[in-house]
Structures are given as structure tokens and as C-alpha cells.
Amino acid sequence: MTRFWLGGYGPGMDGSADGIGLLAGDAGREATTLAYRGVVAEAPSPSWLAQHPTLDVVYAALEGDSAVQAFVRTGDGALSPMGAPAAVGQYVCHVAVAANGSALVASCYGDGRVVRLGLDADGRIVPARPDAAAELRAALFGDDTAPGVPPTPGDGIAAVDPYGVGGDRVSHAHAAVFLPDGRIATTDLGFDLVRFWRQVGSGLVLDHEVVLPLGTGPRHMVLHPSGHLHVVTEYSCEVFTLAEASDRTWSVVSSTLSSPIAQVGTDFPAELARSRDGHFLYTALRGSNTIAVLRVRGGGEALESVALADAGVDWPRHHLVHEGKLLVAGQRSDTITLLDLDERTGAPLGIRHEAQVPTPTHFLPVR
């Protein structure tokens, strides 16, 4: 049976979800029976979900509550809280878990914080050390904040523009990817940066940064099997491809429009997902409510636009490729759609199924 844990926005984030939901279909008829089966764990706006690599534990970004929380699977379609929520930063919108299950990284849109939290052998979240925030600020800006004294409210990453551009720019961390060498890549939508971090002890140390053009707004990323890192930008409607050099630094090797007809200022790309074989990338354009398809060329370093299709929802916030189909979450329409895909050309073939769902923001396949 095809099943997904479903993240969503609750009343605190102008949504109608009551917690983590379950999306499931009838065995053998999933493509036409996929439906919302109710709340499996009450939680305030669990907008992004991540699975522990080996345990039946799911982590949720409680966006409106500035916290992350672990949930353990307690039945066929049930989750229970595993410890109290752990405070991270304002409007935490993304959680990524290390492949070895040792840590998670939370990205916070509101104040730009990138927070690493340890995980114990059972998957429980280990609270951050009291001096972690101070050490992170010192690593970024050479601040002489004394160890053990966290920054005062408003004195975090969001308060500093490292490039001196000025204006109204503030930091908006949005996503993280664990790299095979143990480093972590994160996007900063506000400062147009992709940052690379090293894990040192129980914290993070900035390794280096890749600066994208001003106003592009890097949002989400996909690590391609070729080793390239593809980054979709929310404001400029582009996908930048980064590659690692022999000195272990990353740089931009190409960029392409997510769609030739995407309109900057009207369309706002959200998620970036790849096909099973890695030959295609899919991004959703909020605004025109379409799915743009890009073919991966060469050794993974080049992309070309090949198709554009109706998403069938309003404000497609998240999508994923699952068993040769594309599942799309419509945040503003309170619906999800299932699109058939042509695996040869990558193009969506039309909407196979639609279902009502309370303010969906993220799909996570039930393992």
C-alpha cells in the first residue's frame, strides 16, 4: 500500500491542518484511491518532515513554534511524540537528517539560523549546548561573544549582512543537504548564498560560501548522482548547478531558467525533485501553478528545459517523484494531485487523481 506522512500548516500559519496527517491508497488501486486518512500525530504546523535513516522515527519542523520535534511510529498509521520540542529558530522550515543518523540540521527562515542537533541511539533529539549559538556567530562573523553567552534576540545571523550590500536584506536559511564527505550545504535565500559547513564536535563551522547573483533567492537543493548540486532559486526562477573542485571547494558551473516562460515576480519556484534515474529535474512554479521539467545533460553539469505542465493545484509548495508518478501538494487549494510521467521524455502526461487535504506542505513516504 502506498502511504505518506503529510506535513501541513495549522491555524497558527493560516492553515487548517491539525498535525501530521496520513495520505494512503487502497492496495492495488493507489493511483485512484489516494486520500487523506486523518491526523496521526497532533502538532502545530509541522511544515517539513524527515525520516531517520534506520529507525521508525520522524522529525518535524514546527514552523510557527520555532522548534523541531521527534515522533516515533507506534502503529501501522500512528506516530507519538518522542520527547519535547527542541527550540531552534524563527520559522524553521526545513529539517535534514545525517545518513548515519547522528544529527539533524534545522534551517530557519525567520532569523537565518542553521542549527545542528545531535541524535542519540534511539533517535531522540539531544538538546543543543547553551553556547552553541554563540560559537556559531563567532565562526561566521569573528564575533568575540563570550562562550556560554547566547546572542541576544535579534542579534543572530539575520542582523548582519556579510557583504555590506545594505538595504532591507536579511538572512533566510531555507534548506540543508548532507554531503557524502560529511559536510553540510545550506541555502540562504535572503543573502543569495549557498554555505558549506563542517561538523566539528557537536556544532558547525563555516567552511566556505558560494555567492549567487544578487536577488536570485536560493531555496531548495538536489544532490545529483553525478555529484553535482542543483539549486533552485525562488526569486529569479533559475536552477544553478554547483560542482566540487579538487581543492574541495564548490562553485557554479552552469545556470538555466526553470522554464523559458517563467515570469520573475509572478512565479516563485518551490521544491526541486529528480526522477528515479536522475535524467530529469522537476520544479513547481507557484503563481502560474505549473510543473517545469529540466533534462540533465552531460555529466550532470548542464540542464535544459523540456516541458511545462499544469500542476492541478493552487500554490504547489512541495512535490516528489514516486513510482513513476509526480505527487504535488497545493498549499492554497487544500488539495493534492497525482500526475502520470513519461519516463522516456520526463514530461507529465496529465492529472491521474486529485484529493482534498488540509493545507498540505510536505510529503514523506512511509517506510
* Cα–Cα distance, 63 to 77 (Å, whole number): 23
Q: What pLDDT does 54 receive?
A: 98
Grid cell for residue 192: 543569495
Ranges under pLDDT 70 in the chain: 1, 128-168
pLDDT at 259: 94
Task: Yes or no: say if 317 and 310 are a contact pair by the CB < 8 Å rule.
Answer: no
First to last CA, the chain: 11
Q: Show the domain range for 215.
A: 3-365
Domain count, the chain: 1
- Of the candidates 359, 363, 364, the residue with the CA atom closest to the CA atom of residue 13: 359
In terms of pTM, does the model score above 0.85? yes
Residues 6 and 8: their CA atoms lie apart, in Å, by 7
Output the pLDDT for position 134.
41
To 10 degrees, the CA torsion angle through 83, 88, 90, 94? -80
- What is the C-alpha to C-alpha distance for residues 167 and 314, in angstroms, rounded to an integer? 32
Tell me, what's the pLDDT at 2? 84
Give me the CATH number covering residue 158. Answer: 2.130.10.10
pLDDT of residue 137: 46
Q: In this predicted structure, what is the pLDDT of residue 150?
A: 31
